[in-house]
Chain A
Amino acid sequence: MDLLIAPLSRAGHAVAFAGRAILEMFRPPFELKETARQLYEVGWRSLPLIAVSGFAVGIVLSMHTRSSLERFGAEALIPAALMLALVRETGPLIVGLLVAGRVGAGFGAELGAMKVTEQIDALEAVAVDSFKFLVVTRTVACMLAMPVLTTVANFTGIVGGWAAETAISGMSFEAYFRSAFSVVGFADYIPGTIKTIVFGFIIAITASYLGVHTRGGTQGVGYSATRSVVAASILLITANVVLVRLIFFLFPESAG
């Protein structure tokens, strides 16, 4: 019985942790400085990774789309197909997984280390709300950084796709760019970007939860970091299924 109750109670505990985070986001004090610092860590310092990955994914997607569409003589649709794939799913998911890897591990390890070295207790001792200072700031930073990083990945992906395409057909960037946006609608672009806010929330909450609940010494820190990445990635991918279904429900034209 304990085998069933223990995981369920942990899950309930995590959900309460997430609920508290949401509530605390809207309660002052807002810890803006710490949030900005986290935004720098999570957003700005992830930019090179995201930009390069987006560019590479754009090239690869372009090559695959070309080989598929060439069979039907529909090469003119390559930019549009690439853009649709990027903004709807590939961009958000790639960014989500990359941030889950980079940031999730960072949060898990950092908060875990603070926990095992009793730094969190020290913060509490000086009357600082450790949850607000450590968890909420990270969650807000992650939620803000994700859509920006996704937009960057989408655009570098388009540039990568253009680089691959122009090497073969010599297409101009403007023509490629215009063609890429020819079939993308608001219903593809906006929900695809907005859902990454949810991804950011999931990554930050999962990693923070596992970090602040770290047990044991240094080994526990490493364990928390690993679990943070794995749990954040799994939750992100499964949540994506629900989100896509929800987007189709709210924006029926994006399902077409």
Chain B
Amino acid sequence: MGSPRLALVGAFVGGGLLLFAVGLFMIGDRRQLFTEHFEVVADFGNVTGVQVGTDVRLSGLPAGEVTDIVIPPAPGGRFQVRMRVREDLHSLVRTDSVAAVLTDGLLGSAFIQIRAGTQSAPEVADGGQLAGADAVQVADLIEEGRETFRLVADEFVGLREQMTETFSGLGETVETTTLMINDVGNDVRQVTTVSALFMDAARDVMEDTHDIVQRVSAGEGTAGKFLTDDALYTHVTGMAGEVEATLRAVRGSAEDFEQIVGGLRGPESAAQRLLVDAGDVVTHARDAMSDLAENTEAMKRNWLLRGFFSERGFYNLDEMTVEEYRELLRDDRYTPLRIWLRADVLFETGEDGSVTLADGAEDRIEEAMSELLQYPRSSPLVVEGYATAGGLGRQYRAADARAAAVQDHLVRTFRRAAELTGTMPIGPEADDSPSGDGRWDGVALTLFADPELIGRGPDAEAVP
């Protein structure tokens, strides 16, 4: 065997040993076996994860290791942990330094952290005692977390109760407001009735007077007689006096009425105060509702609830113009199913313009609804009101009243949710009405059903 081979063998063995020694040195260096040390002792009630060789750090800097753990002689005693700490860090370890058992992250191993002491305290002696702070256990953290969750849950329950109270308070406020407005309305109506009676009386007196004057005028030919007839003269004079008194009374009544109306208008009047109060209540209610709307808006933007709202896509019909509503009819998300009902078979219009359902109208509505009952009750239903007679105002009122009458019937009879059964007074124009002339007089029941449930396009159907 030649010497080059021997050299290679030597290199192999020597290199291997050197490499092995590097490994040993790296481990020894980490454990600071090759530096000077001093010893400190700290007592701990709990030494979870601590063992001989456990790292000791001084303010995070590797400083040494645990050399011994002395078991307490009796229960309730504390474990005495001896540590070897680098001599070059001795100046930082003071008598007021505190040692604590910490964990390197959630998964890491335990280590002992020594907090550097204060300038004023003397350096700890070799073998000196440090104060020991016990480890924070993950189990303790979990326990604390559970307590926090319980508190948060309690807060939520409290918040919900408060909200319920607020809503019931709001409901009461609205009811009170309605009552007040009704009271005010009754007063005004009463005043109006009284003044109407006055006016009637005044009109009667004036007619009587006019009659008399006409008769006097007619008796011009007998003026001598009239002038000489004392009795007649006295009678006429008396009558004139009566007229005068009546007129005075009428004037007085008119003044009283004016006063009442003035009283109602005056800034300090009871009615005015009532109206101001009612106005305040309405303002507060509006504020509350606007807060609620803001909260709802915020909830809609909340990622957790966004899907819930966007999937429903409900609209408040009161905030919608006819044109916007027509756009809604063209919305892809719903397939409007419409059933047209004519006014002449459905409604009776009273002399005062009130609209009621005619005899047999209920059967016709039920027949129409039977087409729509196959879809979920959660599908929004809109009763569109149409009216062709009269001017715009009258058309609107009639359309509104017709839609409301049908809606009322649907809510009562079919127990449809009021918030899912809206009315939309449209007027005379109905683009796709079965009449063919783009107008309709009556109502249309429009169900906004999920297109997937129907599987076909917009439907139009007429029921006579």
Contacts and interface: CB of A to CB of B under 8 A. Distances in A.
Chain A residues touching B, range:
35 or more
A181 B1 contact: no
A39 B106 CA distance: 48
Contacts of A144: 13
Contacts of A253: 51-53
A44 B17 CA distance: 14
Given A185-B53, A253-B53, A72 B12 contact: no
Interface string A162-195: 0000000000000001100111111001100100
Contacts of A182: 30
A185 B12 contact: no
Interface in B99-124: 105-109
Nearest to B20: A151
B5 interface: yes
B231 interface: no
Chain B residues touching A, range:
20 to 34
B241 interface: no
B27 interface: yes
B23 A37 contact: no
A28 B124 CA distance: 60
Nearest to B16: A148
A84 to B, nearest CB: 12
B29 to A, nearest CB: 8
Interface of B: 1, 5-6, 8-9, 11-13, 15-17, 19-20, 22-24, 26-31, 51-53, 105-109
A18 interface: no
A147 B16 contact: yes
A182 B31 CA distance: 9
A40 B8 contact: yes
A7 interface: no
A73 B28 CA distance: 29
Given A33-B1, A149-B16, A186-B27, A72 B107 contact: yes
Which A-B residue pairs are the 4 nearest by beta carbons? Answer: A148-B16, A181-B26, A151-B20, A151-B19
B9 A36 contact: yes
B107 A148 contact: no
A42 B6 CA distance: 13
A232 to B, nearest CB: 21
B16 A186 contact: no
B49 to A, nearest CB: 10
Contacts of A148: 12-13, 15-17, 19-20
A73 B8 CA distance: 45
Interface of A: 33, 36-37, 39-40, 43-44, 47, 72-74, 77, 87, 144-145, 147-149, 151-152, 154-155, 177-178, 181-186, 189-190, 193, 253, 256
A40 B26 contact: no
Given A40-B1, A40-B5, A40-B9, A256 B51 contact: yes
Nearest to B4: A40
A181 B22 CA distance: 11
A19 to B, nearest CB: 26
B242 to A, nearest CB: 107
Nearest to A34: B1
9 contacts: A36-B5, A43-B13, A44-B8, A44-B11, A181-B23, A184-B26, A189-B24, A189-B27, A256-B51
B334 to A, nearest CB: 45
Given A74-B105, A154-B23, A43 B12 contact: yes
Contacts of A47: 12
Contacts of A151: 16, 19-20, 23
A177 B26 contact: yes
A147 B22 CA distance: 14
A74 B107 contact: yes
A128 to B, nearest CB: 16
Nearest to A184: B27
Contact of A39 (B13, B17, B31, B53): B13
A44 B15 CA distance: 11
B358 to A, nearest CB: 73
Contacts of B6: 36
A130 to B, nearest CB: 19
A231 B30 CA distance: 41
A155 B23 CA distance: 9
Select the residue from B5, B23, B52, B106 with max chain A CB neighbours within 10 A. B23
A44 B1 CA distance: 14
Select the residue from B12, B15, B24 with max chain A CB neighbours within 10 A. B12
Contact of B27 (A37, A181, A256): A181
Nearest to B14: A148
B71 to A, nearest CB: 17
Contact of A36 (B1, B105, B106, B107): B1
Contacts of A185: 27, 31, 53
Contacts of B108: 74, 77
Nearest to A188: B27
Nearest to A193: B20
